[in-house]
Amino acid sequence: MSPWQRLTQHLHWPQQPAADKNRSLTSLKRFVSLFLVGITLSLAVASCGQGTANNSGGANPAANKGKVELTLVSFAVTKAAHEVIIPKFVEKWQKEKGQTVTFYQSYGGSGSQTRAVVDGLEADIVHLALALDTAKIEKAGLIEPGWEKEAPNEGIVSKSVAAIVTREGNPKGIKTWEDLSKDGVKVITADPKTSGVARWNFLALWGSVLKTGGDETKALDFTSKVYKNVPILTKDAREATDVFFKQGQGDALINYENEIVLAGQKGEKPTYTIPDVNVSIDNPIAIVDKNVDKHGNREVAEAFVKFLYTPEAQREFAKTGFRPVDATVAAEPEFAQKYPPIKTLFTARDLGGWGQIQKQFFDDGATFDKIQGSIRQ
């Protein structure tokens, strides 16, 4: 079976009888729509041998006890870490259980990934940029309430902070959040409507005012000035990085610290600052209960989530730029030096939690839309 056949079969686009053309057309439209929202799917077969997806989209343990499949859907910038971690888990599971695990992986903007899962992409595990996106999948009836308690650290498996990247030599003298609001400074960031990192970037800007004595009126004025300096809103963090480094647009880039660290490992030479007032960018992991129960792969899904919290996996996250959630790994000299503590670090909870944040800032017609509307006038 070709990779294309495995992909389309796995994603529930089975062939239909000629008498059922309407269902075929609907399936085709859903399939195309996943790509139109920016989903990047890879048949990353992290196993010793290739498994074959059946028409239900998951493994059939009764038919094939020696093989199992997992679909991991994650936000774009975790790809480098997962592609190292997954083979380690596959090898471990093979030794312990004598079972071959085949991983299907999908990476893209967190908002786009969330919509894809809700619309039918049968993820077994979701690793998303913010708890709000996971909550949307819960609301759709795919994840059972209380998922935050099913894993350590309230489900947070990776974390980062916001960074400001500048051109070599920092010709505009950009050192703080406030500098991004100055006239003549062009800022690159992602779109909060599609990207989790963009929402964190917005909160970093807004919270930097509140945490230094300003009120919400001042926060609105400052954040509006920064977004007036944004010439393009990209769909996700990875595209923002490409626009800044590869296309040479902008004087400053707001992005995850981990994305900038990874860019440096790939040959770029980023000049960047980690502001002293910053937001803790907390990324949750969750099992998609409805799908794992359908696929019969809960045991291996739970084991993989558990593995992500081990020092072995946390070191791989740290190597690709994420701040470890494991205290012992964070204290290791290599990472303690690489990720110094932030002077004033606030969380989404400090700003009211994601329910309030979404309503206040990112719902249709809320603060971000009003800012964008004022810019277009």
Burial track 173-188 (b if 16+ CB lie within 10 A, e otherwise): ebeebbbbbeeebbbb
Q: If pLDDT is split at 50, 70 and 90, which confidence band does 277 have?
A: very high
Residue at 307: amino acid letter: F
Question: How confident is the model over 325-351, as pLDDT tens digits?
Answer: 999 999 999 999 999 899 999 999 999
Question: How confident is the model over 345-375, as pLDDT tens digits?
Answer: 999 999 999 999 999 999 999 999 999 998 8
Nearest in space to 251 (alpha carbons), one of 191, 181, 170: 170
d(CA 375, CA 28): 38
CB 241 within 8 A of CB 255: yes
Mean pLDDT computed over every residue of the chain? 85
pLDDT at residue number 64: 55
d(CA 352, CA 222): 20
- 71 or 270, which is more confident: 71
- 283 or 262, which is more confident: 283
d(CA 121, CA 141): 14
Alpha helices in the chain (DSSP H): 3-10, 21-36, 79-97, 110-119, 131-139, 196-210, 216-228, 237-245, 257-265, 289-295, 298-308, 311-319, 327-330, 333-338, 353-357, 367-376
Q: Is it the case that residue 58 has pLDDT exceeding 80?
A: no
Report, as an integer, the average pLDDT of 286-310: 98
Which of 21-35, 219-233, 263-277, 317-331 has the least mean pLDDT?
Answer: 21-35
CB 212 within 8 A of CB 144: no
CB 209 within 8 A of CB 48: no
Q: Is it the case that residue 9 has pLDDT exceeding 70?
A: no
Report, as an integer, the average pLDDT of 309-328: 96
Q: If pLDDT is split at 50, 70 and 90, which confidence band does 287 have?
A: very high
Q: Is it the case that residue 82 has pLDDT exceeding 60?
A: yes
Q: Is it the case that residue 67 has pLDDT exceeding 90?
A: yes
CB 196 within 8 A of CB 78: no
Q: Is it the case that residue 26 has pLDDT exceeding 90?
A: no
pTM over 0.85: no
| Whole-number percent of the chain with pLDDT over 70 | 83
Burial track 245-265 (b if 16+ CB lie within 10 A, e otherwise): beeebbbbbbbbbbbbbbbee
H or E stretch covering 194: none
pLDDT at residue number 367: 97
Question: How confident is the model over 102-160, as pLDDT tens digits?
Answer: 999 999 888 889 999 999 999 999 999 999 999 999 999 999 999 999 999 999 999 99
Q: Is it the case that residue 256 has pLDDT exceeding 90?
A: no
- 324 or 377, which is more confident: 324
pLDDT at residue number 264: 82
CB 199 within 8 A of CB 254: no
Q: If pLDDT is split at 50, 70 and 90, which confidence band does 43 have?
A: very low
Q: If pLDDT is split at 50, 70 and 90, which confidence band does 17 have?
A: very low
Nearest in space to 123 (alpha carbons), one of 4, 12, 246, 271: 12
Q: If pLDDT is split at 50, 70 and 90, which confidence band does 376 have?
A: confident
Question: How confident is the model over 213-239, as pLDDT tens digits?
Answer: 999 999 999 999 999 999 999 988 788
- 60 or 243, which is more confident: 243
How would you write 262-312 as a 3-class SS string?
Answer: HHHHCCCCCEEECCCEEECEEEEEEECHHHHHHHCCHHHHHHHHHHHCCHH
| Whole-number percent of the chain with pLDDT over 90 | 71
Distance, first Cα to last Cα, the chain: 54
CB 190 within 8 A of CB 234: yes
Report, as an integer, the average pLDDT of 295-304: 97
